[in-house]
Every structure is written in C-alpha cells, then in structure tokens.
C-alpha cells in the first residue's frame, strides 16, 4: 500500500512540474513574440515628435519633483503637446503614480490605451505596461 502511495505521489509531483513548465514556456513564448514585434517596428517610440521648444527642460524638472509636479505640469501644458508625445508623458506619469495612487494610475493608463490603437507608435510600450496596470 505504501508503495502505491509513493508511486502516486511521484506521479502527482511530476504532473505538477510539467504543468508549471507549460506556464513558463507560454510566458517565454509571449515575451519572445513581443520582442520580435518590437524589433520588427524600427520606427517605434523614437518617431514621436519632440516637445515644443523649452518644454523638455520643464518636463525634466517636473519629473524630478515627482508625480504631483508632473500632474501640475500636465494640467498646465497638455494643450500645447502633440498627441503621441502627450500619451507617452501620461504613461510616464502613470508609472510615477502607480505606488502612491494605483487607482488613478490605472485610470490614466486605460485612457491612454483607449486613445492609442494597435498601430500606434506607443503600442509596444502599452502592451508591455499592460501587465503592470491590469
């Protein structure tokens, strides 16, 4: 009887290891696919238009100040920023905000995701961050 239990235990552990390996294999396959899509898109985030003159330094200062400073900066300057760049800055703001206010960060991420479709310049970054914000 004890030999039968030992055999069942070995089979159960083996099956568990097999199932866990399938999960890790699927995650690895998805990561390679994401990397391949990112490599296939040579344009990517580098093609996002720059900020209007003088705003880049102000944004850098705001990022150093933290999430609250970036929010204030966005509220006062959002209307002057072209759309793909505005979405990239909002994603940066959501990443700054995720620890202190995760609900607001998820709301901002969802709004950016809704604005940017699958063929957007930010699509790869949104896909990568979706694990964090969902």
Every domain of the chain and the residues it spans: 1-40, 48-134
User: Quick count: other Cβ atoms within 10 Å of Cβ 21?
Assistant: 10
Q: Which two tokens stand for residue 29?
A: 């396959």
Q: Which residue has the tokens 């093609």?
A: 47
Q: Is 66 left (phi over 0), alpha (psi -120 to 50) or beta?
A: left
The average confidence (pLDDT) of the chain is: 85
- How does residue 69 score in pLDDT terms, banded at 50, 70 and 90? very high
Stretch among 34-38, 78-82, 110-114 having the lowest mean pLDDT: 34-38
At 28 the pLDDT is 76
Report whether pLDDT(40) > 60. no
At 38 the pLDDT is 56
Exposure of 122 in the CB half-sphere (CA atoms within 13 A): 22
> Which helix (H) or strand (E) is 96 found in, with range?
helix 83-97
């Amino acid at each position: 009887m004890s030999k039968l239990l030992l055999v069942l235990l070995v089979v159960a552990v083996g099956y568990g290891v097999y199932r866990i390996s399938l999960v890790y294999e699927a995650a690895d396959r998805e990561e390679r696919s994401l990397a391949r899509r990112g490599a296939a898109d040579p344009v990517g985030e580098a093609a996002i238009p720059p900020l209007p003159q003088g705003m880049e330094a102000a944004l850098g200062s705001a990022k150093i100040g933290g999430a609250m400073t970036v929010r204030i900066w966005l509220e006062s300057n959002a209307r002057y920023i072209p759309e793909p760049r505005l979405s990239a800055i909002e994603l940066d703001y959501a990443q700054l905000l995720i620890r202190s206010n995760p609900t607001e960060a998820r709301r901002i991420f969802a709004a950016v995701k809704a604005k940017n479709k699958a063929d957007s310049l930010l699509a790869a970054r949104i896909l990568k961050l979706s694990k964090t914000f969902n």
